[in-house]
Amino acid sequence: MLSPEALETWCNGIGVPPHSRALIDRIRASDPARRVGGGRSNVSGRYPSRKMGVTIQFESHRVELAGIYEMEHDAEVLEFYDQPIQIKLDYETAGGKRLGVLHTPDFFVIRRTAAGWEEWKTEEELLRLAERSPNRYRAAEGGQWHCPPGEACAQNFGFYYRVRSSREIDWVYQRNIQFLEDYVRSDSPVQPEAQEQVLAKVSANSGIRLSNLLRETADVVARDDIFGMVALGTLDVDLSAASLTEPDKVHVHLNLPDSNGSGPNVVPAGSVSGSGSPAPEAAGLLPQMGPEQVAEANRRLKLIRAYRAGEPLKENVSPRTVRHWLQRYRHAEALQGDGYLGLLPRFHNCGNRNSKLPEQTTELMLKIIETDYETLKQKRKFHAYGALIRACESEGTVAPSYKTFALAINRRFQSDVVFKRCGRRAAYQMEPPYLELQLATPRHGERPFHICHIDHTELDVEVLCSSTGRNLGRPWLTIFMDAFSRRLLALFLSFDPPSYRSCMMVLRECVRRHGRLPQILVVDGGIEFDSVYFETLLARYECTKEDPASGQATVRIRLRKALWNQHTTDLQFGGKYADHQKRAPSNYQR
């Protein structure tokens, strides 16, 4: 954080007026205006910031946490504060009504040449908000989002107001800075002998692949020393080009300034060429393609670009299909010199597959499905079909068969159907599994101790005292699991229900066994994880705490408990609990 003298110099340097300086002092001296929560679909938590010296709240680990990582490692950012004091936004609703609302931005950021508020949201959420409140959120031609009332409020103080979208997040960069964070926070220096060996190797072969560098120096230099040099900036790597966990794609340079004072050239990230519109050669080679086929090729090209950039696919298309299109693109580019030709749909005469039902019948069928079948009353298909028959008779149109009606229901996205009929928690279990890991996919960590989980379960056994024969009840087991390797890093057994003591003891056992704590700790929202002692311990050792949404956490915890109960069926806790006394001696002495 800036000292009072440094802050005074900064204010004088950019000409901050007195009333704006007073607002900055209030923000810096105030606690966060609100305590964030994950809600239904987000993962909230706290990030231990070295730059700020405090933990920073985030309400979404896919948007706000990504913004925190950027600000934490951006040399242009001097300070940033989460949930600053409220500001008032004045704007008109879509209906013309004048509104004045108190708004708490996500962050107040002090940069080297400016200061202002920043609001982070997903691109999908911004699209919904712009449709509902067009005078509050608006997209410019270049895709940059704006908040006119926020910008007007910021201008009164000489600040800026920026709306940041998830579309701006560089997920490769996010992966790399998370990978390097342990080296940035480490107090262990790189050995001078190791540094000389690595610098000599890179100097002799500038742009060497990281995999070759690791292999050629394996006998004399530890990998941690090389990654430590990358984290400290001794070695220059384009963190946006490729992930460090894929060393074959990473090129390493010496971090020496060139004649212009800038760093060395970096390797650009790979991309798919093509402008999104057909080349003239394509139109000449395939004149039978009409506007529909060309539009389909443009759609496929956009999905390929999103897949290569690690962005989630907005349409209901599987990654396997996108990979098939990418293969066709590359094949056409190699053989014909234009990859766009491979994306044009192949011509097949499959006959007339359009629906034979009248348009009025189709509209009635969709209306009955949405208003009569997809409701919490959970009617059977046959009963909803009876309502459709009566509606068709009253409208004087042809009724479809029951088979057609059932097929129309089955073609709908089942997760949405279950959500409307059974609720959010039931629909969560219907969501498709993650069959592959993409840049924006919720991963289970990229290495051991990257992401770990803590959970409790009451064991299905009863313990008897070997001396008195007294029934001591069912013990509670606290599990500390590594998400990457699925290994149980530590266990803690106690007759006390879950509390902050159980959490602290299992962390202590992890340190005793492995000598370290994880980078990110995922908890389930229990009150024992909100203890000031537990959060102080995580902040002291710079562990990021993530708290998933309640519904998703409940399902995931139930599954983890079922797996653990299955795993422990062969353990004999009943008569041999003394073998485990060394893990929690205080609880067994009673």
DSSP 414-475: HHHHHHHHH-HHHHHTTSPP--S--TTS--S-SSTTSEEEEEEEE-S--EE-TTT--EEEPP
- Give the pLDDT confidence score for residue 307 in this predicted structure: 77
pLDDT in tens, 29-39: 999 998 887 55
Q: Is 98 exposed, middle or buried (0-12, 13-18, 19+ CB in 10 A)?
A: exposed
Q: Residues near 506 by Cβ (< 8 Å), separated by ≥ 6?
A: 454, 478, 479, 480, 490, 491, 492
Q: Provide the CA 310 distance to its chain's centre, in angstroms.
A: 11
Question: Could you give the CA distance from residue 422 to residue 216 in angstroms, rounded to a whole number?
Answer: 58
Q: What is the pairing mode between strands 160-165 and 208-209?
A: unpaired
For residue 4, pLDDT beyond 80: yes
Angle (CA) 131-134-139 rounded to 5° is 90
- Give the pLDDT confidence score for residue 575 in this predicted structure: 33
- Give the pLDDT confidence score for residue 436 in this predicted structure: 52
For residue 279, pLDDT beyond 60: no
* pLDDT confidence bin for 261, thresholds 50/70/90: very low
User: What does the DSSP 8-state code read for residue 500?
Assistant: H
pLDDT in tens, 245-260: 899 999 999 875 443 3
Question: Could you give the CA distance from residue 32 to residue 106 in angstroms, rounded to a whole number?
Answer: 10
Q: Is 259 helix (H, G, I), strand (E, B) or coil?
A: coil
- Give the pLDDT confidence score for residue 280 in this predicted structure: 41
pLDDT in tens, 186-235: 777 788 888 888 999 998 888 899 999 999 998 889 999 999 999 988 89
Q: Is 574 helix (H, G, I), strand (E, B) or coil?
A: helix
pLDDT in tens, 376-420: 999 999 999 999 999 999 988 989 999 999 999 988 878 788 888
Look up residue 332 and give its amino acid. Answer: A
For residue 588, pLDDT beyond 90: no
Give me the residue label for tokens 């499959």.
Answer: 350
Percent of the chain exceeding pLDDT 90 equals 46
Question: Could you give the CA distance from residue 128 to residue 123 in angstroms, rounded to a whole number?
Answer: 9
* pLDDT confidence bin for 64, thresholds 50/70/90: very high
For residue 27, pLDDT beyond 80: yes
Q: Is 389 helix (H, G, I), strand (E, B) or coil?
A: helix
Q: Residues 176, 243: contact at Cβ < 8 Å?
A: yes
Is 0.75 surpassed by the pTM of this model?
no
pLDDT in tens, 133-184: 999 999 987 788 999 999 999 999 999 999 999 988 999 999 999 999 888 8
